[in-house]
Amino acid sequence: MIEQLSKDYDSPVITFWIGRRPTIWINDAWAADEILVKRSNVYNSRPAMLLFGELMNGQENLIHKYTYTNEQRERFRNLRKITHHGVGIQKVLSYQNFQDNENKVVVYDLLSTPDQFVAHFERYAASVVSIVGFARRISDSQDPLITEVIAHMQTAAHYAVVAKDFPRILETFPWLARLPRWMSPWMKNFKSPHKTKYSRDNFFYALAEEAQQSPEENYAKFIFREAPQYHLTDGEISSLASNLFGAGADTSSSTLITAVMAMRAFPETLQPAWDELDRVVGHTRSPALEDELPYVRAFVKEVFRWRSVAIVGGKPHAPIQDDYWNGYYIPKGTWIQGNVWAIHHNEREFPDPDRFNPRRFLDTEDRRPFPGEKGYMTFGWGRRSCAGQALAEQGTHLSVARLLWAYRVQPAIDQKTGKEMPVDIFSYTNGSNWRPKPFKVRFIPRSEEIKQTIIREGEEALRDLAKYERPAQYKLGPPKK
């Protein structure tokens, strides 16, 4: 609806009102770049958010942190600095070895249980983040950490959609949050004034605390070492640890599911990838990050563009002062939301936007001008862009390149009719972070030689990853009776 209003009024921005609170939606790439990137020193705060800013993690979470005062800005910089130590560009380069090994295991697992590709992607994404954060590998897709973390991330994304659910109305009518608990059943999922032993905050704090015992270096160890210098609270430690999963687990697995859907729905895009991979890589090893694979890189960029996981660009921005842009008056604290879906489906930049076309990112007639170097805005803007972008991009490139190299993704066959089962490229879940609804495909190794390489590399990867194997001592939720 907001995208259509922007077209109807021929305006890059639209103001949408919920009660007395306006939200400015940016539906144009160039406007988003001018406002949220080039003026990021102004638009780097969050608006006053009852739901995320106070009721959930509050101001102990970097993602929700306000930056209106010098003290708030200093705290934001310090927490961001700590986060960059875990997932900054230079640090991510040191993760290539185990990220590559975990990815080889995914391709290996697909040989035996291809119908469980979603679970394999979820395990892979969560395991990489868990090794980064806690030096603990997740070897089983049924590990409770996966289900708990993904459930939490999807719930948070569910509530982030403007006006979608009753809890969002709390932003317009905050007095509803002050009613007694027995009168407000809608508050059951939000922070209680009395934290329980099994609360989410305690869960991630305990994981981080437990990781200090690991012989391997990890992000949690660094957080605890820095805690005295930065006077970190327990809540900040918990949020710094949990944000890793938000930066890499649910979003990365959802991106890979979308990549498989694109391979199935647009088979005409695959032959150029196979030709490039056969020429550069061959069949006796799988792709590596250092391989020059321009078409495959374009394929990955088109995955990010075609169906970005964060369709509304994450949490809203807000200006720290009154501002004017192109004649528009934007008061301090106004909700500013980047509409990634509208930006990535603007026919001016991306003709026939629902068609998956990697050539948009090559020097061809399909390429159009777009602000910035990346050619997409999947990870947000300015100082509020996703801190885990480098980790996600590195992992997605490895994963998609290896999937393209290893398998032909072919239609599943209906056992009753014997006919090919279709996929619906518009069948996605609801929420500000979305993923394809369940669909079926077949993964067929492209050659016997490739199959043997998958087995050899998968078994070697499992041996290399063994040093990260250890059981978790802490569980989210009370013990079963």
Residue 286 near residue 405 (C-beta atoms within 8 A): yes
DSSP E strand boundaries for 240-382: 323-325, 328-330, 335-338
Paired strand residues for 317: 336
Secondary-structure breakdown of the chain: helix, strand, coil percentages, each rounded to the nearest 5 = 55, 10, 40
pLDDT of residue 5: 82
Q: Is 59 buried (19+), middle (13-18) or exposed (0-12) by CB count in 10 A?
A: middle
The Cα 200–Cα 57 span in angstroms is: 10
Q: Is 186 buried (19+), middle (13-18) or exposed (0-12) by CB count in 10 A?
A: middle
Helix (H, G, I), strand (E, B) or coil at 23: strand
Tell me the mean pLDDT in the region 282-307.
Answer: 98
Whether 168 has a pLDDT exceeding 80, the answer reads no
The Cα 336–Cα 27 span in angstroms is: 11
Whether 3 has a pLDDT exceeding 90, the answer reads no
The Cα 414–Cα 149 span in angstroms is: 33
Chain-centre distance for alpha carbon 100: 19
Check if CATH label 1.10.357.10 holds for domain 82-313+352-468: no
Tell me the mean pLDDT in the region 150-164.
Answer: 59
The Cα 40–Cα 414 span in angstroms is: 51
Q: Could you report how far apart the first and last alpha carbons of the chain are, in Å?
A: 49
Whether 480 has a pLDDT exceeding 50, the answer reads no
Q: Categorize the per-residue pLDDT at 134 as very low, low, confident or very high, splitting at 50, 70 and 90.
A: very high
Which is nearest to 392 in space by CA: 204, 128, 85?
Answer: 128
The Cα 238–Cα 205 span in angstroms is: 4
The Cα 106–Cα 99 span in angstroms is: 11
Residue 22 near residue 15 (C-beta atoms within 8 A): yes
186 vs 8, more confident = 8
83 vs 144, more confident = 83
Lowest mean pLDDT of 190-194, 344-348, 401-405, name the range: 190-194
349 vs 179, more confident = 349
Whether 285 has a pLDDT exceeding 90, the answer reads yes
* Percentage of residues of the chain with pLDDT beyond 90: 69
Query: What does each C-alpha distance from 269 to 195, 298, 351, 396, 423 come to in angstroms?
Result: 51, 11, 16, 18, 16
Give the tokens for residue 187. 């508050």
Is 411 marked as a binding-site residue? no
Q: Categorize the per-residue pLDDT at 179 as very low, low, confident or very high, splitting at 50, 70 and 90.
A: confident
